[in-house]
Amino acid sequence: MTEPNQKTTHHNPSQVETIDMLFKVINRFDFYTNSTNVKTSLIIAWNSFIFGTILMKYDDILTLFPPIGWPHYISIFFVSLFGIFSIISNIFAFQVALPFLQPSSINLSSSSMFFFGSVSKKSVEDYSVEIGGASFEFILSDLCDQAVTVARGLSEKMAKLQNSIQAIYGGLIAASGLLILKAIVSV
């Protein structure tokens, strides 16, 4: 009995199919990278709104609490913590927004026929000769390297995006603490 993930027939893809498949994989990673960048833009906008509101309404927020005693100090703590988490989130978000410019997963000084940074350093003639003279094995190797390179860059971006979102959660917990404090003080 065969496993569900095993193929019962074996098909050797042609060279064109192999190259096409690699481009589809890289395009899929590019799509995920673009969605990560969109989410980052939303996070930066959110944090800018939160931090700007805290700066502009800091005194108004603190007037909701008695001006002396423990509630005053705890409210300062929660408002400050909310702002600090917003800044931390933006630090991670800005790292996500930075472009990923690594040309290769193997050798940082190597050149790729598909990495825009490498291509931009060549003349039209040199690039035309390189593309025209490239063997299938070289193209396959370069595309595989590009797929791994883009996937690693995407993984780094996703991890930083996750850290940014976790910092937002920290800020929301601080805001919740501020609301709970207000409810306690109002009783």
Which domain does 158 fall in, by range? 15-186
- Determine, yes or no, domain membership for 134: yes
Domain total in the chain: 1
- Determine, yes or no, domain membership for 154: yes
DSSP string, 171-184: HHHHHHHHHHHHHH
pTM above 0.85, yes or no: no
User: Please, are residues 145 and 104 in contact by the beta-carbon 8 Å criterion?
Assistant: yes
- Determine, yes or no, domain membership for 128: yes
pLDDT digits (tens, 9 = 90+) for 45-74: 999 999 999 989 999 999 998 888 999 999
- Determine, yes or no, domain membership for 113: yes
pLDDT digits (tens, 9 = 90+) for 122-136: 999 999 999 999 999
The Cα-based distances of 71 to 57, 59, 64, 168, 173 in angstroms read 18, 15, 10, 24, 17
Q: Record the tokens describing residue 64, joined without a space.
A: 């909701």
Q: How far is Cα 11 from Cα 21, in angstroms, rounded to an integer?
A: 14
- Determine, yes or no, domain membership for 5: no
User: Please, are residues 165 and 55 in contact by the beta-carbon 8 Å criterion?
Assistant: no
**Mean pLDDT across 2-15:** 68
